[in-house]
Amino acid sequence: LNEFFKEDFEVIATFKGRDLEGERYIPLFDYYKDREDAFRVLLDDFVTLDEGTGIVHAAPAFGEVDFFVCKREDIELVCPIDNTGRFTKEIKEYENILVKDADKPIIKRLKQENKVFHHSTIRHRYPFCWRTDTPLIYKAVKTWFVAVEKIKDKVINANKQIHWVPEHIKEGRFGKWLENARDWAISRNRFWGTPIPIWRDENDNVVVMGSIKELEEKTNKKVTNLHRQFIDDLTFEKNGKTYKRVEEVFDCWFESGSMPYAQNHYPFENKELTEKSFPADFIAEGLDQTRGWFYTLNVLSSAIFNKPAFKNVIVNGIILAEDGNKMSKRLKNYPDPEILISKYGADAIRLYMLHSPAVKAEDLKFSEKGVAIVLRQILIPFWNSYVFLATYANIYKWRGEKTFKKPTSDIDRWIISLSNKLILEVEDALDKYELSRAVDPIVDFIENLTNWYIRRSRTRFWADEDSQDRKDAFSTLHFALLNLTKITAPFVVFISDAIYKELKTDDMPDSVHLLDWPKYEKSNRDENLENQMRYVQRAVSIGHSLRKEYKLKVRQPLAKAYIEADSKILNYLEKQKHLIKEELNVKEVILLKDESRFITL
């Protein structure tokens, strides 16, 4: 009180707010002063002492909580604001003035009437139009609803039949939204939009038109266009009453939710085709659509067919600007897509996002640096693998053969085995619509191909003698790259096709995108060899880390390398000791089951 009342004041009484319940008070303005149901004190638990004074003015036409509190108390709603946000004739002093423009004149008037004891500015969150940055108001309007609460169980049951990627959204974000679903307001008060096909008389009796034919029969008019300017004037008589179309149009989300049927003009055309192909195999959209398209599709499909609108759904996160804010055309807070494509290629952008949290329904702060890294670390090595093969194939006049003969060397059999494993892993992930699990193995394979297979096999390619070993190296790399282009084709479409066209034989289709998905050949898998090489790579990686830690460059030979592990791993390493020796540049590799000789207590 001392903060607001600068002069002396007297405390007359102290009591709880609930003691005022039902008490009437004199309103600041006399526009509705004769209303017996209004201008009294109400209680509700949404009012707190955390902010403000603990007293809230309730305007039922301009706030959801206010609306329900006043509805509970049987206080009739009044709304002296028109659809353009201006005062109506009921408020004659401010008629046709925008409500925000009237703030200062109203405050001035209250001060003149000595009704203001304190005037200050309070900073708080307030809604603004995202297009124009102008302030908005909440306003009660009459609207048409889909009674979702009546069919909520149907919608929830339909959701149980959908495979969600990621899985947690099914019972999480989307499931929780369905559990608390409210009736859906489907009408909008604007000119552009699909007219709601409801005709109403003066007593609010309604007729819902089910087709153009029915509308023509009732109005005796030929209907060739369903936009509102062509049908709003169509009327008909029934039981002595004139029926006119309601003014509202459909919310565009109602139309989006109707897409599976509306696109085929169902049920007037393509009835069998639509019902046969419904539900859709899958759809893919952003996380925000759990309360948008995913929702409206399933509400309508549950109501009409008692089944979901789709079988599978891939949910991606929201792509944000690098600073974490929403991307905005107006703010230009993102790199120009055309410049990015020109600089890095469309494949790099695609793979950057496919190999990111976005495919797991997590937000991605889009970064040009991230695209550059994908290009440098994944796509360029992929392309360089082909260039390496092409360079030496041209030198030695080697040409790919129509049939591939299995090689005998371990490193060739290893990369062929990994190539087949890649088919299996990517296929399994795609069958389950898990894009991240499909892309990760591709990235790993390119790493193995470039930084292990090619690096370990270089001397075989530039050998002068046309030996079987050199032929095997050429045919193996050709096979692995050709197979890789088939697997990567859905993800990095351009570079895959470019490399494929250089590798294909004359009897193959012109484009990789005309090929079937490669078949997994179990006979080409050697999981034992894969394990051997994986542990060898792990041992080499640890060895290089130790060299780096102790500042011992790889070119400096060392006498011995000791490796301790369990017997199964040691068995794998034993068969590839020569690789470890070469990679670590040591004269001897000693494998140990017991590390106690290195431990002193």
Task: State the Cα–Cα distance between residues 272 and 274, nearest whole angstrom.
Answer: 6
Q: What secondary structure does DSSP assign to 564-600, as a single string?
A: E--HHHHHHHHTTHHHHHHHHTEEEEEEES--GGG--
For the chain, residues classed under CATH 3.40.50.620 are 145-316
Per-residue pLDDT tens for 25-56? 888 998 888 888 888 888 888 887 777 677 88
CATH topology of domain 369-525: Isoleucyl-tRNA Synthetase; Domain 1 (1.10.730)
Q: Global pTM?
A: 0.76
Q: What's the confidence (pLDDT) of residue 126?
A: 87
Per-residue pLDDT tens for 473-520? 999 999 999 999 999 999 999 999 999 999 998 889 999 999 999 999
Split at pLDDT 50, 70, 90, the class of 6 is low
Average pLDDT over residues 221-249: 94
Q: What's the confidence (pLDDT) of residue 601?
A: 60
- Quick one: residue 143, left, alpha or beta (phi over 0 = left, psi -120 to 50 = alpha)? beta
Radius of gyration of the chain (CA): 36
Q: What's the confidence (pLDDT) of residue 418?
A: 96
Split at pLDDT 50, 70, 90, the class of 98 is very high
Q: What's the confidence (pLDDT) of residue 332?
A: 87
Split at pLDDT 50, 70, 90, the class of 235 is very high
Per-residue pLDDT tens for 124-151? 888 888 888 888 888 888 899 999 999 9
Task: State the Cα–Cα distance between residues 340 and 350, nearest whole angstrom.
Answer: 11
- The top-scoring range by mean pLDDT among 14-18, 55-59, 162-166 is 162-166
Per-residue pLDDT tens for 398-444? 988 878 888 889 999 999 999 999 999 999 999 999 998 999 999 99
Q: What's the confidence (pLDDT) of residue 503?
A: 93
Residue 596 pLDDT > 70, yes or no? Answer: no
Which two three-digit tokens encode residue 505? 């034989």
Q: What secondary structure does DSSP assign to 64-111, as a single string?
A: HHHHHHHHHTTPPP---B-TTSBB-TTSGGGBT-BTTTTHHHHHHHHH
Q: What's the confidence (pLDDT) of residue 208?
A: 95
Q: What's the confidence (pLDDT) of residue 74?
A: 87
Which two three-digit tokens encode residue 552? 């011992």
Per-residue pLDDT tens for 253-269? 999 999 999 999 999 99
145-316 classified as CATH 3.10.310.30? no
Q: What's the confidence (pLDDT) of residue 16?
A: 87
Residue 577 pLDDT > 70, yes or no? Answer: yes
Q: Is 516 helix (H, G, I), strand (E, B) or coil?
A: coil
Give the architecture (CATH level 2) of 1-140. Alpha-Beta Complex (3.90)
Task: State the Cα–Cα distance between residues 457 and 415, nearest whole angstrom.
Answer: 11
Which two three-digit tokens encode residue 580? 């470890």
For the chain, residues classed under CATH 3.90.740 are 1-140
Proportion of the chain above pLDDT 70, given as a percent: 97
Q: What secondary structure does DSSP assign to 169-182, as a single string?
A: HHHTHHHHHHHT--
Proportion of the chain above pLDDT 90, given as a percent: 63
Split at pLDDT 50, 70, 90, the class of 378 is very high
Higher-pLDDT residue of 117 and 281 is 281
Per-residue pLDDT tens for 450-465? 999 999 899 999 888 8
Task: State the Cα–Cα distance between residues 594 and 590, nearest whole angstrom.
Answer: 12
Per-residue pLDDT tens for 187-214? 998 888 999 999 999 999 999 999 999 9
Q: What secondary structure does DSSP assign to 257-306, as a single string?
A: HTHHHHTTTTTTS-HHHHHHT-SEEEEEEEGGGGGTHHHHHHHHHHHHHS
Q: What's the confidence (pLDDT) of residue 599?
A: 61
Per-residue pLDDT tens for 424-436? 999 999 999 999 8
Q: What's the confidence (pLDDT) of residue 178?
A: 92
Q: What's the confidence (pLDDT) of residue 346?
A: 96
Across 431-578, the runs of DSSP E, i.e. the strands, are 558-564
Q: What's the confidence (pLDDT) of residue 383?
A: 97
Helix (H) / strand (E) containing 146: strand 145-146
For the chain, residues classed under CATH 1.10.730.10 are 369-525
Q: Tell me what the pLDDT averaged over the chain comes to.
A: 90
Residue 575 pLDDT > 70, yes or no? Answer: yes
Sign of the CA dihedral with 583 first, then 587, 592, and 594 last: negative
Residue 11 pLDDT > 90, yes or no? Answer: no
